[in-house]
Amino acid sequence: MGPAGFFAPEYLRVVLGWPPATVALLSFFGGMIAIVGNPAAGWLSDRHGRRPMASLVAVSFALLALAARSAAAGDLEVTVTGFEPGGGAVRVGVFASGPDFEAGLRARGVEIAAEGQSVRALIRDLPPGFYGIAAYQDADGDDELSKNFMGIPKERYGFSNGARGRFGPPDFEAMRVQVAEERVRLEISIE
């Protein structure tokens, strides 16, 4: 077993937020498949050759990974309120980790015209996991949150879970939201 196999259960549990019982079932059934599959693979390899079987396994794993990724993807629906209608586009950014948030590296981003009392952003097919969501109204149209000389934002902004930082942006942990297979709905009020 390589490092990936050793750390996979911990990754599923901690990073993707899978319950321990689900990780245990996955490990159990994976072991059962290996008990039956290894002798069958050996027999097929003897009968048809190693290269065709290796190619078949590689293609099967790739198709299985694609199917699992698309089947497990979830949607995130973010309703933003508190903006000034007509005062510039509302931008919503989805961040996959604390370091990505600190570096400003969005996993996904949406821009919506600021019309009415609220706007809705729908981000489709997010892999299951924890995300932090930030929203702001780009009043000056420069595609970034404008700040004054002290680093204090000049434009309206907000974060998921109503998270706020004391002297800067909030911690990723305070704003993180779990996305699973079903649609997650949340509201961000920008001020």
pLDDT tens-place string over residues 55-85: 888 888 777 766 655 556 788 999 999 998 8
CATH class of this structure's domain 74-189: mainly beta
Percent of the chain with pLDDT over 90: 35
Domain borders along the chain are 3-72, 74-189
> pLDDT: is 65 or 96 the higher one?
96
pTM to 2 decimals? 0.65
What string of DSSP letters covers 15-40?
Answer: IS---HHHHHHHHHHHHHHHHHHHHH
Q: How far is CA 151 from CA 60, 106, 138, 146, 155, in A?
A: 51, 21, 16, 9, 12
Q: So what's the pLDDT on residue 71?
A: 54
Helices (H) and strands (E) in the chain, counts: 5, 8
Distances in Å between the Cα of 112 and the Cα atoms of 14, 85, 187 are: 33, 11, 15
Per-residue pLDDT reduced to its tens digit, 111-160: 999 888 899 999 988 888 899 999 999 989 888 888 888 888 889 999 99
pLDDT-derived band of residue 110, with 50, 70 and 90 as boundaries? Answer: very high
- pLDDT for 185 equals 93
- Predicted confidence (pLDDT) at residue 172 exceeds the cutoff of 90: yes
